[in-house]
Amino acid sequence: MQPSPPTVANDRRLEALFLHREIEEFNNAYAAALDDNRLTDWAEMFTDDAFYVIISRENADRGMPVGLIYCENKGMIYDRAFAHEKTEMFAPRYLRHIIGNTQILGEEANGDIRARANYVVVQVLYDRPEAKLHQVGVYHDKFRRVGDQLKLAERRCVYDNLLVDNALCLPV
Amino acid sequence: MMLRNADMTQDYVWPNDDLTVIPDWVYTDQAVYEREIERIFHGHTWNYVALEAEVPNPGDFIRSNVGPTAVVVARAADGTINVFENRCAHRASEFCRELRGNARAFICPYHQWTYDLKGNLIGIPFRRGAEGKGGMPRDFDVKQHGIRQLAVTSHRGVVFASYADDMEPLPDYLGPEVLREFEATFDGRKLKVLGHYRHSLPGNWKLYHENLKDPYHATLLHTFLVTFGLMVVGNRSLMLADKSGRHGVMASAKSDAKKLSGDAKKEMLAFKEGLTLREKRFMNFIEEFDSPWSVTMATIWPNLIVQREMNTLGVRQIVPDGPHEFVMKWTMFGFEGDDEEMTRHRLRQGNLMGPAGYLGLEDNEAIKFVQDGMRRVPNGTHLVKLDPENPQGTADTLISESAIRAMYRHWREAMGL
């Protein structure tokens, strides 16, 4: 059988596949920056006008805006990165971010790409044997192309574990 | 040597009576914890349970707690707010599982015993049995078998409950000085709930009170407080304790940290010269309260913290869970009439507080460190000796622990220990 000739439909499917892969790679790099505690690199993954919030499912479902971390722009995201790296007092720990179930949901009027992905954050304290599931939730994202890079214009981290274990000492 | 049982009993003796040394068993002993539930949370106290704004309409309810005990807070058809145990009178099942909702009645899912919005038992399936057999005893009186209903009071939209039926009115319970600060925050404007935080802390519940009766730590632990002049040596400040010693208010007026003396800066490792934020609006204080203080943290015995940290506002409810653990439930709020920018300002400034707050997370970690320290050394004690000229009560210096000592004077009375 002859291979089918390229069609517009095939191009679209390929484009969607590339985009999906690109967003997965973005999320892998995002997880690596946080796991390696490179918080300035993490902050660089957002657009200047980015909105970033870590909000409980309880609040999100009811349209209540309070978040564990609430940033209205990249400046606030930088301030977070700086504080967690330089000023905050907390016990040392390792974190591991696992991001999966990536879905592309559509495109906004301004061209931003709507996507979502599930995440888990596992935390290890130096004096405890267990790696504890610290957060489990979903990212609701808007990605934007800036130059040749994808950046986050919005990341709403909606977590299911309403009862947070003591303190959230690093971003998710 | 044989270990005799007599050696294994805790004798609950305080090292001295001036309250400057606190024994660790106050924070680690199961029997002490159980007596606290009986004599403090279930005793002669007003316990915070809800904001009225969370149950605005008839049928509205939330799950809450008095001490560790689960309760339901519900608004009945007659508009009254009722608080009763979340525990079926039949087999003790915790029947209300939703965090909040609207209901006409509560039906225990196990055997469908049914309660009205005040906690009265109104229905028992097969009470008379079936086909002439079984059923409840003929003389069973539903009025004698409702669920435990608590006394309820509300002040400026804040709802409290008590197991005691002879409680004084809330203003008398708070005393005039603490009441003044309470009413400065709850100033009569209608509250608007902005959301909740919930977290568990691996420490004794009293450490949370102590942390907010300990202005000394505020000037040392928290870079954000010190560097941005929120609470710092040299500020106008007050550590208020009520006459009984159980309630307190830590209060401070924001100042310009640049005016700090060189000596004070040297004492405070947390002070970071030249630290600036990219988001300049973050530390703005928009005057909205009739109070000389830009920050007040009120500790209302036994389970409420009222946070007025400039413009980020919230109540925190302590739910103890054994001597080594407690849950905090935060309800953050603004006021009806806040415009969108004011709400966003409160949310931005909210980054200071909560389980991931610039200040909040440091407090949570410090409390964990203290409990860890106590659990790993048997029969230890620790010191609260600062400010000896002021044995117990209100202090006008931040370098004081007199409000902690005042709390323990009250605690020892209440506990008989």
Is B64 inside any structural domain?
Answer: yes
Answer yes or no: is A1 within a domain. no
B197 touches chain A (CB under 8 A): yes
My answer on whether B132 and B240 are in the same domain is no
Q: State which residue of chain B sits closest to A162, comparing Cα positions.
A: B198
Question: Same domain for B93 and B228?
Answer: no
In total, how many domains does chain B have? 2
| pLDDT tens figures, B336-352 | 999 999 999 999 999 99
Contacts of residue B219, Cβ cutoff 8 Å, sequence gap at least 6:
B225, B226, B231, B232, B233, B268, B270, B398, B399
- Does A166 map to a domain? no
**How large is the ipTM?**
0.94
Tens of pLDDT, residue by residue over B84-127, are 999 999 999 999 999 999 999 999 999 999 999 999 999 999 99
Quick one: B229 and B311 in the same domain? Answer: yes
Q: Is the pLDDT of residue B271 over 80?
A: no
Considering the domain architecture, whether residues B110 and B235 belong to the same structural domain is answered as: no
Chain B partners within 8 Å of A80 (Cβ): 351
Which residue is closest to B220 within chain A, CA to CA? A89
Residues 6+ apart with CB under 8 A from B141: none
Asked if the structure places residue A62 within a domain, the reply is yes
| Same domain (yes/no): B251, B393 | yes
Q: Which two tokens stand for residue A79?
A: 């301030």
The pLDDT value given to residue B379? 87
Do B309 and B241 belong together in one domain?
A: yes
User: Which residues span the domain enclosing B75?
Assistant: 47-153
| Domain final position from B119, B153, B187 | B153
Partner-chain contact A87 B279, CB within 8 Å: no
> Taking CB atoms and an 8 Å cutoff, what residues of chain B touch A83?
223-224, 358
B354 CB neighbours in chain A (<8 A) are 66, 68
- Together in a domain, B144 and B180: no
- In a domain? residue B158: no
- Structural domain includes residue B162: no
Task: Check whether residue B141 and residue B263 sit in a common domain.
Answer: no
CATH of the domain at A22: 3.10.450.50
Number of domains present in the structure of chain A? 1
Print the domain residue range for A111: 8-159
Report yes or no on A83 lying in a domain. yes
* Same domain for B233 and B122: no
**pTM listed for this prediction:** 0.94
Asked if A166 and B272 come within 8 Å (Cβ–Cβ), the reply is no
Taking alpha carbons only, the member of B139, B187, B196 closest to residue A64 is: B196
Helix or strand (DSSP H, E) at A11: helix A8-35
Is B122 within a domain? yes
Mean pLDDT of chain B: 93
Question: With an 8 Å Cβ cutoff, are A76 and B278 in contact?
Answer: yes
- Overall average pLDDT of the B320-349 stretch: 98
pLDDT digits (tens, 9 = 90+) for B368-415: 999 999 998 888 999 999 999 999 999 998 899 999 999 999 999 999
Question: Is A2 part of a structural domain of the chain?
Answer: no
User: Are B107 and B202 within one domain?
Assistant: no
Nearest neighbour of A166 by CB, restricted to B221, B332, B368? B368
Contact A65 B343 (CB under 8 A): yes
Same domain, B356 and B287: yes
Pair (B149, B189) in one structural domain: no
The Cα B254–Cα B309 span in angstroms is 10
| pLDDT tens-digit series, residues B204-248 | 999 999 999 999 998 888 888 777 767 667 778 899 999 999 999
**What CA–CA distances, in Å, run from B382 to B21, B25, B27, B151, B217?**
6, 11, 11, 37, 15
